[in-house]
Amino acid sequence: MRTKEQSVPDPGGAGMSKVVERNITALLDRRKAEEHAKSREDKIADMVTRFTGSMVFVYIHLALFGVWIIWNLGLLGLKPFDPSFVVLAMFASVEAIFLSTFVLISQNRMNEQADKRAELDLQISLLTEHEVTRMISLVRAMAKKMDIPDAYDEGIDELEMNVQPEKVMDTMDQFTKRSKEE
């Protein structure tokens, strides 16, 4: 029997159960807490990365570099201040060094977040696998008690076995190693 919390759709009519709503709220709250807990340096790195990944940044650079180049080609009738474009190249190189550093800082943190999510997914999958395995055992026991022929299907024996993640990973490693050797 389902509890009211598990079966009643949300009042907005979107068809979400209360459990899904609760999970979404919990994940959003967690995301807000993690955002709030970021260091000032991480917040600055995110701001810089967000801005440099925008079209406004591209337009500003098009304008600045365009004027710089046109000016130093002498097309504006003004005296060139960087006729060989050495200063422009140096400016662009230093900017690239800093921007790539900011991007790497943001990517490192995003990788950490992705690793946390992957770990959470793995833990939930392992828990689900355990629960399903246990349910198969219980349903099979009931089917045997009711003398249902499918309860004696040999394929169910394998389904009743708990998955051992370390053995799965060892097997995956062996297959990967073999495929690299071939």
User: Do 106 and 44 fall into the same domain?
Assistant: yes
User: Do 132 and 106 fall into the same domain?
Assistant: no
Domain for residue 30, yes or no? Answer: no
Domain for residue 76, yes or no? Answer: yes
Q: Which of 43, 92, 88, 38 is nearest to 68 (CA)?
A: 88
Domain for residue 22, yes or no? Answer: no
User: Do 106 and 46 fall into the same domain?
Assistant: yes
User: Do 95 and 128 fall into the same domain?
Assistant: no
Domain for residue 147, yes or no? Answer: yes
Percent of the chain with pLDDT strictly greater than 90? 52
DSSP 43-93: HHHHHHHHHHTSHHHHHHHHHHHHHHHHHHTTTTSSPPS-TT-HHHHHHHH
* Domain residue limits at 85: 40-110
pTM value > 0.75: no
Helix, strand, or coil (residue 17): strand
User: Do 137 and 81 fall into the same domain?
Assistant: no
Residue 162 has pLDDT above 90, yes or no: no
Domain for residue 173, yes or no? Answer: no
| Count of the separate structural domains present in the chain | 2
Under the banding of pLDDT at 50, 70 and 90, the label for residue 15 is low
User: Do 130 and 101 fall into the same domain?
Assistant: no
